[in-house]
Structure 1
């Protein structure tokens, strides 16, 4: 495809490359830090300024704009025949600390541009088009995730956040109310008007780049099981304790890690297993470590397989601990099931990619996204575009401009089919 919207939008898409670059750079100024990254955390000045600036952007193209109680921002182009049926697209406006300028943010820009192009070319849609800038997804300021999307569906509970604080001791409630937002009057109230939600996002992995694809049509978001594990041996003198008498917790952990990773590699894609945090005690040069606390993160697209695999790893860990004369405590604190995307909507995206001759692949998402909150409740699908070297949550996060453009084109065609066609 060239830089025009296939054969349907020649007049409005000529400047798409410039539009994409200008808007990404524009949004990147809110929360920019000296390292080149972005820190735009929920209910901060940087976050508020970004939402207010987006509000003006949406208004400038003639959308009906509003905030909900908690700070989700919506811009709506009301449909002529089915105004009560909303075709929604967007993503989250918050970032991680010192993150990149595309994660979440580009999904908002892409939806805004797509609706602008469609409005200019085709006028009023049959169904209402809505771009949404979700208040929060990352959990980077407060220990709570998906605050924005959970509030859309009555899933967020006041008691879960009203007593939590950020690293500076600022309470969630004070930060929210300080910017003029508040808890929903009816926290169980849920949006009933969303007919479809399509989220465009950078992959945050390297599959598309390595396989030479421009677009990913996501059919599932992986399930996750996360653990905090403590292995207890015996701390002892590093010089006077013979090897045969040691209960070395680091050695025990190394066995667990090595054997578990070997099983994960044998299982193959899409299973992934990560030991991400390791804290030995007493963590000094001349003492045999007596304790290790470590984390484990396991993900798969099939819930039954995820359960079976992790239970086998749990059994292996206990067996290794028993063999080495140690104690082990296993705390599984997250158990999230995989979330499939809507099959019909996935087929719609595949058909669009085939028709437009886009270089795409069907794939799963190894990371969590707002789409996983939407998907059990409304027809939902995702589009991915490549991440250079798979880097994300990092100032080096980047996607080729031509791939950003292809993402906007694919999203525009999807919204056209969903909102303008019977």
Structure 2
């Protein structure tokens, strides 16, 4: 299969120019001019290669090669077109470019597919402009709640609804899609496993479940010089106990459990006052729901115990509780067989980050492919992947789309 190195490199460079930054990377936020320019340019590109292209109500973009025998059976591939602020050149948009190149190749070399090939460039996944995630994929299945976005604003006070309307879109009025036979998404790993193991492709088995917390420890602020150690209600000390014990337990459990204390805010956060409060976050992830629930329940019990031992109050707000999402077993097996047959360097792995595939998977057979991230870097202007690895990933995707759309 002749997926050309230069074609891949040029396609990445082209899509990255919409919202491209001087220092490299991309900022392309939902319903901005950069976002709209990218979607319109992709629509033109789809039309140029012979696809029927169209937008849905909220701005998801689709391109289709109609199936000759089973036009109502959709084989879909793509990803999200939005980025984080000061993001890279591959996160999300690789999945769009890869599907475009793969489908163009298949149409050119094998003609009309038996089943319809459909490319999707999803409006949003990241939640970087507005505090809402998976707007694009949730609308594919009519599970986005309009009330959740009607009153939200970006950092400049622009309302979600106003930004959407300014780009020519509106709330979804269509029912959930029920014609998608399979969905494949290719994405950068956003971690360092594939690079360290010198593999070009990851076949994803599941997307981790996540529990996230906002925690408030309430002690007593007091003078740093005149308050004896035994009389203190030091919120930072309580936090340090919680952090230390929790991470030690996470290390004992081991992979694939991960635990992160990502944001810590002592109050009043000055040199000469015993801190009376600490606000902090916890992010815990695991591929197994039972293990995730058991570990986080123990975590909550430990926090209550430590706060009580030190005479502090604690407020625990678990604001995210997402179950792990398995990928489709048949598609996983198909991808493994393709990699083996075509001698593509691969490993089976899970995804430690969230993706649009986790929205698709409960509704349609879904699978994911990863390609390596150099130094594991993502959500950063330095985000990159060797072009030869991109080519290998697109080859795997092309073989899979051929098998699904062209074979009985």
| TM-score in terms of structure 1 length | 0.96
SS of aligned partner of 2:133: coil
In structure 1, C-alpha distance between the alignment counterparts of 2:362 and 2:400, rounded to whole Å: 20
Task: Please state if 1:82 is matched with 2:70.
Answer: yes
Report the equivalent of 1:39. Answer: 27
Task: Please state if 1:274 is matched with 2:263.
Answer: no
Report the equivalent of 1:365. Answer: 351
Report the equivalent of 2:160. Answer: 172
In structure 2, C-alpha distance between the alignment counterparts of 1:211 and 1:37, rounded to whole Å: 26
* Equivalent pair of 1:35/1:98 in contact (CA under 8 Å): no
SS of aligned partner of 2:171: coil
Report the equivalent of 1:342. Answer: 328
Task: Please state if 1:391 is matched with 2:391.
Answer: no
Report the equivalent of 1:253. Answer: 239
* Residue 95 of structure 1: how far off its partner (Å): 0.3
In structure 1, C-alpha distance between the alignment counterparts of 2:357 and 2:184, rounded to whole Å: 8
* Equivalent pair of 2:90/2:384 in contact (CA under 8 Å): yes
Instruction: Tell me which of 273, 279, 288 is aligned to 2:274.
Output: 288
SS of aligned partner of 1:66: strand
SS of aligned partner of 1:256: helix
**Runs of 4+ with deviation above 4 angstroms:** none
- Which structure 1 segments of 5+ residues have no match? none
Instruction: Tell me which of 204, 213, 217 is aligned to 2:199.
Output: 213
When the two chains are superposed, the root-mean-square deviation of aligned CA atoms in Å is 0.7
* Residue 341 of structure 1: how far off its partner (Å): 0.3
In structure 1, C-alpha distance between the alignment counterparts of 2:238 and 2:47, rounded to whole Å: 60
* Residue 209 of structure 1: how far off its partner (Å): 0.8
Task: Please state if 1:298 is matched with 2:301.
Answer: no
Q: How many residues align?
A: 408
* Residue 35 of structure 1: how far off its partner (Å): 2.8
* Equivalent pair of 1:101/1:397 in contact (CA under 8 Å): yes
* Equivalent pair of 1:217/1:382 in contact (CA under 8 Å): yes
In structure 2, C-alpha distance between the alignment counterparts of 1:284 and 1:124, rounded to whole Å: 68
In structure 2, C-alpha distance between the alignment counterparts of 1:279 and 1:35, rounded to whole Å: 31
Report the equivalent of 1:18. Answer: 6
* Equivalent pair of 2:207/2:351 in contact (CA under 8 Å): yes
Report the equivalent of 1:65. Answer: 53
In structure 2, C-alpha distance between the alignment counterparts of 1:190 and 1:325, rounded to whole Å: 52
Report the equivalent of 2:313. Answer: 327
SS of aligned partner of 1:159: helix
Offset from partner CA, 1:329-357 (integer Å, 9 cap, x none)? 11111100000001011111111111111
Task: Please state if 1:381 is matched with 2:352.
Answer: no
| TM-score in terms of structure 2 length | 0.99
In structure 2, C-alpha distance between the alignment counterparts of 1:178 and 1:267, rounded to whole Å: 49
SS of aligned partner of 2:9: helix
Instruction: Tell me which of 130, 135, 138 is aligned to 2:126.
Output: 138
